Chain A
Amino acid sequence: MRLAGAWVIAGFLAAVGLTAIAAPETRNVLVLYSNGRLLPANVEGDRGLRETIRTSADRPVMVFDEFLDMPRFGGQAYARTIATYLREKYASRPPDVIVAGGQDALAFLLGQRTELFPRVPVVHMSVFRWFVRSNSPLPADVIGVPIELDFSSTIEQALRWHPQARHLLLVTGTTPIDRELEAQLRRDVARFKDRTTAEFLAGLPTGAVLKRLGDLEGNAVVFTPGYFRDGEGRSFTPREAVEAMAAAAHAPVYAPFNTFIGAGIVGGYMPSFAQMGRQAGQTVNALLDGAAPGSLGLPEIMPTTLNVDWRQVRRWDIDEQAIPGDAVVHFRAPTFWEDHWKEATLAATAFLLQTGLIAGLLVERRRRRLAELAEQKQRFELAHASRLAIAGELTGSIAHEINQPLGAILSNTDAADLLLESGADRRDELRRILADIRRDDLRASEVIRHLRTLLAKHPVERKRFALDDAVSDMEPMLRAEAGRRGVTLVIRPATTAVALVGDRIQIQQVLISLVLNAMDAVAGLPEDRRKVVVSVANVVRGVAITVRDRGHGIAPEHLPKLFDSFFSTKREGMGLGLSIARTLVEAHGGRIWAENGPGEGAVFHVELPAASATRPVAGGV
């Protein structure tokens, strides 16, 4: 038991030991900025720093930020208070590396180092080289890449871009750093005294500065590093100060910090704060990885690059060709291609594919439409040809229908002639004769009109029409034909009027085809079987036309082919009448079929949708 317990405890301890080894210690990085949290330089630097400091499961890193908020706060007492605060705050999370963002932060750390985290290496960033030089030698574990503001290159560039400029305005502030920058500026500007006059607006109230800038004429160039405090003691971030100046100035404004880009300055040779952050981050990584501070071989100085604001380039009419190729151009609305080449390529490809598809579909649609039109035209021609054929078949009846009134007219005129010759006063009779002549004349022209309507190549109509009228229009001709053939024709109209939508002529054509077909069926049969009955009846969704004959009926094997083109059992038949009838009926949304009657003969049925229940006539023929 005891032995077992000892084993358990040993195992437990081993486990704890293993756990301790397995969980790597979190490394803390304290970043101390000279100024406020929102200073653009700090924001950019912080971004570069954080995206570079590597943290992982086997070497977790936590980054803490502190802001000294200088120059709004300052002095020995403040420094001591902050030092105490930081020491106590970070007692439980002692930093492994400290980053000094800006020379005030570096100065603070150097000043408080004995009290605050001695032996913790310090990496500085955004610190001017003159500061490093004036504090050298720095302790061996205080390292970093300093920056140097290249005022001369910027001014040189400005004068190149504005060759007519004869006046250089230089604006600085009143804090120690402002004064330091002013001093450097005064040294650098001396180089340009042959070409320009230099005017320093140093430590003036902001109002005075802005007024002066607003009064400038065309031949001036402004250069300013901005300022933290003006001649009245008002605090600014340098960017705010520059923004106000750029807005007021009647001259292009140049500056040495890339954080001012977008505030209205044209540009200048600038170190990049983001780049400073990244440089510091790399140094932090090396130190956390155990490198000795002195072994890192850091660059002498942060590089500067020419930055320009494209909008200002345009505003001040700077020659585009004079912008060096390595300059970083901001706010140039990137060409669509530069900005979105991937999306653009994708979209263009999609567009092309789509266009191709659409084009293909359109071509296909057009092809189909043309085919449809051709087919429609063909059907139309065929329907018309069929009507002509019908007319041919009806020639006798048509002639009869026309000659009947013509005969009456001629006989009437002859009679009138004779009456006049007789010399007797037969005026009443003559008047009756004239009335009859007029009536017969109209009758003849009516026949011709019907015929014309039937035979004309009229465009397909889609109109509402009364079926009964359409049938009764055809009745005289059908009756004449029935008479000629010795066939009894019975027409039974619908009990209530039916309106159809479609082409009246085509429906008449269908009717005539069916009646002629029925008459053919009874030809040569005894008189009592030479009978054709046409009836029109209302059905639920429309109207049913039935044509019944007393012929021999349809042979069962012919029933399925009856409405096919070129199917005919008649010696002279083309086999088109019924096929066209079906085409026409279907174009009206109806159907046609045939069956053998209950007794003898065949029955042809046509069902057409009534106008109210009709969809628009499809296709058309």
Chain B
Amino acid sequence: MTVPNPVVGARPISSVRLPGLAVLLVLASAIVMAALVLLPLLVVFHDAFAKGIGKYLDAIRDPDAVSAMKLTLLVAAIAVPLNAAFGIAAAWCIAKFEFRGKGALLTLIDLPFSMSPVVSGLVWVLLFGAQGWFGTWLIDHDIKIIFATTGLVLATILVTFPFVARELIPLMQDQGSDEEAAALTLGAGGFTTFWRITLPNIRWALLYGVLLCNARAMGEFGAVSVVSGHIRGLTTTLPLHVEVLYNDYDFVGAFAAASLLASLGLITLVLKTGLEWRHAGELAANRRH
């Protein structure tokens, strides 16, 4: 990141002597951010500890909360690696080869980003719900997808589908394939070439994509809410646990669970910002989100 050249009326100014307009604008920005964005974060932690640290610890040690955390970790542990593997495969064929239909493929990969999370859950119910296309067959064979972990995983995969692919594709397109071609002509095999040349070139972008994918996977609410059925201790992920408690007027419990998710968001934000500062050149970071 380059330090921008401070300009007011095209005159460089020092950070100490900000003229009137600049002070006004900086102040206005700070107020907007504090009231609109920072306040919700503070409220989460404030309300979580509103009845003291003891009640907070009780809330996050509650068996339902613990099983919600485990389920959230399990769902992310399945969804994120699958989407990462897909992202690498998609980026390899799109960035390294020229073929017809590439534009359509890119549009399809981006599609889940512009769908409502609720629709991303709905589509699985249409397929596997009791009255879905495969509903009767699944009941006959005693397989549960909706209102079970499989449904949560499918909904999460769909919502987080593009994250890794979208980070990798523009970067690998920029990098071209000269280095891989050189390795191949020197006698390296395809796998060696990928492992020794491509992977090191894309590792930071891959990490960045996985980070964003994981944060969304663990924090997803709308899509999993549709397929979960909200069975306490069984199909409630952490965000759904927050909802259940909140609707029961257990606000300390809800905000305690929310504070864990907020911490996850904060850690992600810190790691992401760190990556952007240190490895800006290897991230294609101007195409964020």
Q: Do A and B bind each other?
A: no
